[in-house]
Structure formats: structure tokens, C-alpha cells
């Protein structure tokens, strides 16, 4: 192998922040789709997590642009993307798509929690006043208003699905349409991003719901967990198949780019891509979720199996994002050499920043839960000793 | 069956209304279509005076001294370890082993190299040459296409530039350039690259790298002028483009390239 890297390729431009961004929007899109499975597609088994998934999508969506802002060379000019958009650019629609989707999700959340807000608004004190303000001082609740809210929420759930796919799919398209980079340049990228998003979204809900239930000693809703496990299995099969299909077709065709891509995955990304992304974090969850979907396991076993699989798939998707985004920048456009990237810990675009951005949504969700419960009453039943 | 409604003579006839709509639409279309054309007609005074800049690199002449790199760095305040232009050194041995590295711009005796030396050929013979690189100022520029805010643009005289006041520093263009000639400037945090020394060429001077080349390996000029050196070179010599299969239509022509050059 000739070790030749173009001099400007030695610096990796898109840091761990750009790995985090599609990860978070993926969680948003995935969580939103779970909430729509209940609100729109009548998956009654998902009722315990329906509101929780919508709230998760909303909260993660609020934090999604943060890694991008931190990454921009001039964040104070961020609104240029909406003031002077160049619509030839796949990136230019971001501001509009993001804003429109944020509005849709925010209104849907508002409609779904309206009844609980009305209940909280009846008292006195700052929280009650806040709730009244959030309700625009309209605390009427009748059969008719509830039906109207429900209809509107259903409509927004339907509208939100293509928007969620658009918000996350365009990121995939952005990478997939870059002809300069053989590791990115594939029309499959958009669809790979969407399906991996759904996988990560379902996974975060399973992980978070089961963790919260464990902490609070709630009785787990078994049909809900099992249904999520089944959906997870289906979507992960599609996601991983697409990821494999892309690489296998490049490998089999043996065109010029295979020379560098083969070395990238066989050498530079060997551990993070072949071993971890596929052999460990795809294969093991696949068998675990297959067991959950195909056999009637004992309650404890089946819950444990789904929990482990979901936790592993959360790692699988972050690995996939890393391997795509960092891996693509490791190969030089000379096609003859590689650079390397290790994220700093304390720097502006480092690991601590990433950890803060990623944990903040969970704290906001906790505060949300303090005002308006994230789960229906029946999901919060204590386990009987 | 109902009789046609004749009780509302004041109501406009539908057919007439549709016809009027069609006329208005056609008229509007005519205005929209012709306005830019008319504007162009008015503005086309002196369009022929606008030069069309192009650049040629004669790799058969380059000696790898790095004077161009030093001149560029000094002229354009390019930060350390970032490059608006650089010079590659190729060594191709008898057994097709290739070794590539980069001429240092600090002094012309050393080379920046992380390359492993190619295996010694049996006969020890080596073909070696230098290839200067810079922005190709593509006609179908990927960077212009992908810039989300329109900060990167191509001028009427054929130079691709970045507006540093408007660039948000997202790095999309850096990823999109197949030639890796762009970088996010470490000091200004905006996209940066070769401008063909636009501040010089618009005053009738040569780009710093062309000015400083001791052997005439870098050729710059107006291709609309048939008597310019670049026109003569492109008429007389055989040239190729870098990565022509990507459809970027570069305006940087390479003379004497080997197939190993990327």
C-alpha cells in the first residue's frame, strides 16, 4: 500500500459532533415512528410507551442542532442557511425542514398532554400558572374538545412520519451524494440512515423505559416490551442487510475504489466495523431478538433478552455512524493512504461536550415527567411484592 | 337534465374566463422568460472584455523546489500545515511500485513523507517527476453546488471564490472537493482555498505561485486571448485533467501527467 495522503486530508474536518448529530436525529425519527405506530397504526400494545416516545422525540429534537452549532466555524452565522439558502445544496433545506418538524412535534406533544396539563392547571402556585399559560389559558375539557385534540394529534402523527424521514433521510442523502468520497457515495445511504434511525429509536425507548421501570419498581408491560422487540428485530434485519448489501456489492464488483475501501474496512476499521459493528453488536442482538419473536420465553428471560439486544443495538448504531462519518474521512481522496482521528476529551468538539449533549435530553425528560407524567397510570403500577 | 342557467347575465362566461386566464398566464410567462434575457442584453455591453482565466501545470518542467508553496503562504497568510497549493513527488520504479510524498515548503532539500520507500527494482531504475496541485476552479464545481448558504461562488471570469464574511464554516465543501484543495482555515474558521490570487490578477499581475516559479511550470492567463501564453500552450501541447470522470470540468490543465497521478 502506498501511504500517500493529500496534505489537507490529514485534518479530519467532521468531528465526533457530526457523528453525534445523525445519531440524535436518528433517535428522534425512530422514537417518533414508535409513537406513530400507536397513534396512527393502532398498535395498541405500544400504549404504555406512546406518549413517552413522542416526548423523547421532542426532547431529542430540541438538542439535535446543538452538535452542529458547536461544530460550525461561525455559529453566529447559522441563520444564513435560512436567510440565503442555496437550494442546489443538499444541506440548504435543513433549517426549514428542522423548524417545520419541530413545530409539528411540539404541537402534537401539546395536544397529547393537554388533559394532564388541565389537571395540573387547576391548582394554585407557579406550576399551575405555568400550565395555564402553556394551555393558552383555555382549560375547557369536554367530550368534544378531547375528540378534536385526538383527531388533530392523529393528523400530525401522520404528517410527522414523512417529515421525520425527510429530516433524517436528507442527512443520509448528504453523505450518499458526495461523489468525491467512495465510502459515502451510494444512493443506499439515505435508506440505510432511515432504517438505522428506526432501530436506534426503538432501542432507546426499550432501554429507557425498562431502566425507568426498574428504578421505580414498576411492573413491566410484557406485551409492550415483546412488541417493541419484534419491531426491533424486523427493522434491524432491514438496516443491517442494507449496510451489508452496500459493502458486498462494492467488494464483489472490485472496481477501483475497492482497493482503498477494502483496506479501510480490513485494516483501519477492522475492529470498529467488522468485529464490533457486525460480529458483536449486530449478530448477537439478531439472535436474541429472534428468540424473543419466535419462541415463547419465560417472562424474565424475554425481558432480559430484549433489554440486552436494545442496549447492544444502541451501540451498533453509534458504531455505524462512527464508521461511516469518521471512516469516510480516514481515507484520503488520493485513494492511496489513510489519516487517523482520535476525538479529544476536553476540546470544544470533544467527548465531554458530546456526553453533555447526549445526557441533557434525559434530564429534560425527567423534568417533563415531574410536570406531566410520561406514562399512563396503568404503566406505573408498582410490582406487587 | 337541467336547462342552462340564464338568470345571471352578469356572471362572466366560463369559457371567456378560462381564455383570459390563459392569456394572463402566457403574458406572465413571457415577461418572466424574457426579463433575464433582456437584462442580459442590456448588460452584455463589454461581455467580451471579461477574461476567462485558466491555469496550466507543465509537470515536465517542475523541479520540486517549493518556491510556489512559499510564495503562496506568504501572499495569502495560509496557516501552518494547511495548503492552498502543494507539490507532489512521484517515484515509479521498474516493477510499478509507486512512492509519493510532498515537497516541503520550508526548504527545498527535504520532503514531508510518511511514505514507505518502494521496493528497489531489480535494475534500480526510477521514473521520477513532480506534480504541483491547486484548486482546479471547476466549471461544474461541486463546492459551489453544496455550499448551503451560497458563500462559495464562481465569478464571471471563471474563478471559484469563498466569501469569508458569509461562510458558516460547516465543512461540506471540504468534504465535497474531490481534489482536497479546500480546508477550514484554522485562524478564520471559514472555508479557504486557492483564489488564483484574485486580488492580483484583477490588477493585471500574475498569481504569486506563477510569479515565483523559476522554471515556468505554472502557466496562467486568459484563454479568450488567442495570443496569451496559456492559449498557445493549450493549442500546442497535449494535456489532461484530474479525475475527469467526476464531471467537474476543471479549468486547470495538466501537461505530461503519468497515469499514476491522482
pLDDT tens for A72-130 read 999 999 999 999 999 999 999 999 999 999 999 999 999 999 999 999 888 888 888 98
**Range A21-58 burial, b when 16+ CB lie within 10 A, else e:** bbbbbbbbbbbbbbbbbbbbeebebbbbbbbbbbbbbb
Output the pLDDT for position B109: 39
- Contact status, residue A324 vs residue A175, Cβ threshold 8 Å: yes
Q: How far is CA A379 from the centre of its chain?
A: 24
Confidence at B105, pLDDT banded by 50, 70, 90: low
Confidence at B114, pLDDT banded by 50, 70, 90: very low
- Contact status, residue A198 vs residue A182, Cβ threshold 8 Å: no
Output the pLDDT for position B157: 96
pLDDT at B39 over 70: no
Output the pLDDT for position A59: 98
Output the pLDDT for position B96: 74
| Alpha carbon distance B220, B134 (integer Å) | 12
Sign of the C-alpha dihedral, residues A106, A109, A114, A117? negative
Output the pLDDT for position B21: 75
| pLDDT: which is higher, B93 or B192 | B192
| Alpha carbon distance A222, A242 (integer Å) | 30
- Cβ of B172 under 8 Å from any chain A Cβ? yes
- Angle (CA) B21 B26 B32, round 5°: 125
Contact B179 A91 (CB under 8 A): no
| Alpha carbon distance A24, A51 (integer Å) | 19
Contact A78 B168 (CB under 8 A): yes
Confidence at B110, pLDDT banded by 50, 70, 90: very low
Mark the ranges of chain A whose per-residue pLDDT is less than 50: 1
Output the pLDDT for position B18: 80
Which of B149, B172, B174, B183 is the mutation pick for testing A, counting most A CBs within 10 A?
B149
Contact B190 A92 (CB under 8 A): no
| Alpha carbon distance A303, B34 (integer Å) | 69
Tens digit of each residue's pLDDT (9 = 90 or more) over B184-243: 999 999 999 999 999 999 999 999 999 999 999 999 999 999 999 999 999 999 999 999
Output the pLDDT for position B4: 53
Q: Which of residues 126-185 of A touch B (CB under 8 A)?
A: 174, 178-181
Contact A8 B184 (CB under 8 A): no
pLDDT at B122 over 90: no
- Contact status, residue B179 vs residue B186, Cβ threshold 8 Å: no
| Alpha carbon distance B130, B100 (integer Å) | 10
Confidence at B3, pLDDT banded by 50, 70, 90: low
Output the pLDDT for position A2: 55
The string of DSSP letters for B94-147 reads TT--EEEEEE-SS-TT-EE--PPPPPPPTT--EEEEEEEEE----TT-HHHHH-
Contact A336 B262 (CB under 8 A): yes
| Distance (Å) from the alpha carbon of A171 to chain B's nearest alpha carbon | 12
Output the pLDDT for position B19: 83
DSSP secondary-structure letter at A73? S
Q: How far is CA A127 from the centre of its chain?
A: 31
Output the pLDDT for position B221: 97
Strand order across the B239-240 sheet: B218-222, B53-58, B252-255, B239-240
Tens digit of each residue's pLDDT (9 = 90 or more) over A94-107: 999 999 999 999 99
Output the pLDDT for position B97: 79
Amino acid at each position: 500500500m502506498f501511504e500517500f495522503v493529500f496534505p489537507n486530508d490529514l485534518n479530519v474536518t467532521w468531528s465526533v459532533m457530526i457523528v453525534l448529530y445523525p445519531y440524535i436525529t436518528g433517535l428522534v425519527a425512530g422514537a417518533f415512528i414508535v409513537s406513530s405506530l400507536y397513534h396512527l397504526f393502532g398498535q395498541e400494545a405500544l400504549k404504555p410507551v406512546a406518549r413517552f416516545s413522542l416526548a423523547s422525540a421532542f426532547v431529542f429534537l430540541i438538542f439535535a442542532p446543538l452538535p452542529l452549532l458547536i461544530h460550525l466555524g461561525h455559529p453566529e452565522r447559522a441563520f444564513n442557511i435560512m436567510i440565503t439558502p442555496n437550494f442546489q445544496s443538499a444541506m440548504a433545506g435543513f433549517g426549514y425542514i428542522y423548524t417545520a418538524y419541530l413545530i409539528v412535534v411540539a404541537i402534537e406533544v401539546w395536544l397529547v398532554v393537554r388533559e394532564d396539563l388541565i389537571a395540573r392547571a387547576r391548582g394554585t402556585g407557579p406550576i399551575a400558572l405555568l400550565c395555564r399559560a402553556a394551555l393558552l389559558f383555555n382549560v375547557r375539557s369536554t367530550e368534544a374538545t378531547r375528540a378534536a385534540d385526538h383527531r388533530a394529534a392523529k393528523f400530525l402523527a401522520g404528517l410527522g412520519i414523512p417529515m421525520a424521514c425527510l429530516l433524517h433521510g436528507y442527512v443520509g442523502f448528504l453523505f450518499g451524494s458526495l461523489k468525491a468520497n467512495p465510502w459515502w457515495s451510494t444512493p443506499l445511504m439515505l435508506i440505510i440512515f432511515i432504517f438505522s434511525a428506526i432501530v436506534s429509536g426503538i432501542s432507546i425507548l426499550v432501554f429507557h423505559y425498562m431502566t425507568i421501570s426498574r428504578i421505580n419498581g414498576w411492573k413491566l408491560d410484557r406485551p409492550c416490551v415483546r412488541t417493541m422487540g419484534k419491531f426491533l428485530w424486523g427493522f434491524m434485519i432491514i438496516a443491517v442487510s442494507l449496510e451489508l448489501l452496500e459493502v458486498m456489492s462494492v467488494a464483489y464488483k472490485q472496481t477501483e475504489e475497492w482497493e482503498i475501501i477494502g483496506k479501510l474496512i480490513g485494516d483501519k476499521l477492522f475492529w470498529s466495523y467488522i468485529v464490533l459493528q457486525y460480529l458483536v453488536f449486530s449478530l448477537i442482538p439478531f439472535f436474541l431478538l429472534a428468540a424473543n419473536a419466535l419462541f415463547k420465553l419465560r417472562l424474565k428471560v424475554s425481558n432480559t433478552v430484549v433489554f440486552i439486544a436494545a442496549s447492544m443495538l444502541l451501540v451498533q448504531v453509534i458504531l455505524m455512524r462512527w464508521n461511516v462519518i469518521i471512516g469516510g474521512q480516514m481515507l484520503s481522496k488520493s485513494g492511496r493512504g489513510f489519516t487517523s482521528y482520535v476525538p479529544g476529551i476536553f476540546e470544544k468538539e470533544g467527548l465531554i461536550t458530546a456526553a453533555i449533549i447526549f445526557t441533557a435530553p434525559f434530564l429534560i425528560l425527567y423534568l417533563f415527567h415531574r410536570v406531566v407524567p410520561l406514562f399512563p397510570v396503568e404503566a406505573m403500577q408498582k410490582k406487587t411484592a | 337534465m337541467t336547462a342552462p342557467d340564464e338568470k345571471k347575465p352578469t356572471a362572466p362566461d366560463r369559457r371567456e374566463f378560462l381564455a383570459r386566464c390563459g392569456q394572463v398566464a402566457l403574458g406572465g410567462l413571457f415577461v418572466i422568460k424574457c426579463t433575464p434575457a433582456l437584462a442580459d442584453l442590456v448588460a452584455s455591453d463589454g461581455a467580451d472584455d471579461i477574461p476567462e482565466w485558466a491555469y496550466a501545470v507543465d509537470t515536465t518542467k517542475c523541479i520540486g523546489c517549493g518556491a510556489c508553496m512559499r510564495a503562496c503562504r506568504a501572499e495569502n497568510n495560509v496557516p501552518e500545515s494547511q495548503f492552498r497549493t502543494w507539490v507532489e513527488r512521484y517515484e515509479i520504479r521498474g516493477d510499478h511500485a509507486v512512492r509519493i510524498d510532498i515537497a516541503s515548503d520550508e526548504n527545498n532539500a527535504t520532503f514531508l513523507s510518511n511514505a514507505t520507500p518502494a521496493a528497489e527494482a531489480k535494475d534500480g531504475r526510477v521514473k521520477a517527476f513532480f506534480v504541483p496541485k491547486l484548486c482546479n476552479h471547476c466549471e461544474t464545481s461541486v463546492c459551489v453546488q453544496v455550499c448551503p448558504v451560497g458563500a462559495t461562488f464562481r465569478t464571471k471570469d471563471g474563478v471559484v471564490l469563498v466569501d469569508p464574511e458569509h461562510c458558516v464554516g460547516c465543512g461540506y465543501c471540504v468534504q465535497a472537493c474531490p481534489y482536497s484543495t479546500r480546508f477550514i482555515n484554522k485562524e478564520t474558521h471559514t472555508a479557504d482555498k486557492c483564489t488564483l490570487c484574485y486580488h492580483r490578477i484583477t490588477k493585471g499581475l500574475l498569481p504569486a505561485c506563477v510569479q515565483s516559479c523559476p522554471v515556468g511550470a505554472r502557466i496562467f492567463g486568459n484563454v479568450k486571448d488567442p495570443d496569451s501564453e496559456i492559449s498557445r500552450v493549450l493549442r500546442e501541447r497535449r494535456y489532461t485533467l484530474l479525475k475527469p470522470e467526476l464531471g467537474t470540468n476543471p479549468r486547470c490543465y495538466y501537461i505530461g501527467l503519468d497515469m499514476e497521478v491522482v
